[in-house]
Chain A
Amino acid sequence: MAAEANKAPHIVVTGHEDIAPWSQSGLIRPIENYVDFDTWPLNDLFENLVEIASYEGTIYGVPQDAESRPFFAWIPHLKGIGYSKADIRALPGKILSGNYTLYDVLDDAKKMQDAGLVKPGYGFYPRVSKGGDYWQFYLSFGGEMQDSKSGKLVFDRSAMKNFYAFFAKAVEMGVTRKNHIGTPWDQWYSEVASGKAGLWHGGTWHYSRYTGKEGLKDFFGNIVFGLIPAGDKNGRANTITHPLVYLVTNRGSEDDAQIAAQLVAIASEPRINTLHAIKSAHLGITKSQQNVPLYANNRWASEATKLLLPHASAMPNNTNFSPYFDAMWKGLEASWTGQKSPEKAVADVEAELRANLGNDIIIR
């Protein structure tokens, strides 16, 4: 509303998903009109992050931070079910190559419970609320969110069904609680940071929570991390990033916009961006940050950047994505809690998408 009244700030930091609706409404200016992405420091940005900050081929924003959503496992429990130190070191590589799948996660979760290492329902301990993280599991089964040629959203029936079936199976095996969604976040953080859960997924920024408020002294001695594993041979190991972006609004004159855009460019210089990245346990936005001592000497930032960021994709910058997300989530909850079979849930999601989005979504 402030933007519509031309009272918005000149620079806004927000999620990349705001680019599509705000650019269509004329509330933000294409930043590529004011700063040069072929010169320092913008030419050092990770290309996939610049793409995420764009809409219909125009660069509207500059990434402010990056993160990704890794898979985590509690090392003492892996050892408790027979993993050697070498096995644990090799796990991220096995995930990347597709040799450790989501169904291996469930098998290991069950072994941990059967061995009495964690309580029933704590073997696989996912995110407790709706979130973009769950799209990773759709990708794990070969799903695609957006068609790269047409820009339309994509609903892949088979991938969605297999994604739903995976969580239904986790509940059926007893490694995830049927009423897990809605668990308080504070409880969840405390449990995953203290070995009460076996395997889970979260965000790169969780590092600061685990080692800070939750008091985990030896992160790397207790937790191994990697990409979200593939679900089957159709899918791939993956992770989603949700960068915040600096946007220049329509407030003020062209001169104001040029200054605002220049400030954003300067703020994206690797050393300046590193201050926030390290303090907040986010990942950097430029390749050169791995040469900035503050960043390079931070084991978490350094390892997470190398392992996760090159494989990161994002939720689409598409104004129709919100209703698609809502429908996907309803279907997942219904499958998870047993209200519907995965097949029925997918059929209902498809019907809802056809009714609400029509030709704006590709259904296959």
Chain B
Amino acid sequence: MLAFQMFAKRFALGIIGVGVSLGLSLTPVMAKDITIQVWAGGSNVVDSYRVDAIVMAADILEKKPRFWVKT
């Protein structure tokens, strides 16, 4: 869930809401919304991809959270 994303000339800043299940146990855990803020410098239009990639990652993490957890 992308809550807010802002791009300006000198920086790209994204605030990303991620709804994930926290914890490594096999028992079901409650989903929790976490807001992650990301900052990337750069003055070119393509620099926003650095934040876009995290936004895409948030979308993927929401769908397949356990796959990415360190075990």
Contacts and interface: CB of A to CB of B under 8 A. Distances in A.
Interface of A: 8-14, 34-36, 64-65, 244, 251, 255-256, 258-260, 262-267, 272-273, 275-276, 279-280
B61 A13 contact: no
A14 B38 CA distance: 11
Interface string B3-22: 00000000001001010101
A57 to B, nearest CB: 19
Given A255-B22, A263-B57, A36 B52 contact: no
A6 to B, nearest CB: 12
A12 B44 CA distance: 17
Contacts of B40: 12-13, 64, 244
13 contacts: A11-B36, A13-B38, A35-B70, A36-B71, A64-B40, A259-B20, A262-B61, A262-B65, A262-B69, A266-B68, A267-B53, A275-B49, A280-B46
Interface in B56-71: 56-58, 60-61, 65, 68-71
A267 B55 CA distance: 8
Closest 6 CB pairs of A and B: A276-B49, A266-B57, A13-B40, A267-B53, A9-B37, A11-B38
Interface of B: 13, 16, 18, 20, 22, 32, 34, 36-41, 44, 46-47, 49-54, 56-58, 60-61, 65, 68-71
Contacts of A273: 53
Contacts of B34: 255-256, 259
Q: Label chain A's interface by main secondary structure.
A: helix
A9 B39 contact: yes
A263 B54 contact: yes
Contacts of B53: 64, 267, 272-273, 275-276
Nearest to A41: B68
B61 A263 contact: yes
B44 A280 contact: yes
B50 A13 contact: yes
A244 B13 CA distance: 16
A288 to B, nearest CB: 16
A279 B46 contact: yes
Residue among A65, A260, A264 having the largest count of chain B Cβ atoms under 10 Å = A260
Contacts of A13: 38-41, 50-51
Contact of B36 (A14, A259, A265, A279): A259
Contacts of B57: 262-267, 272
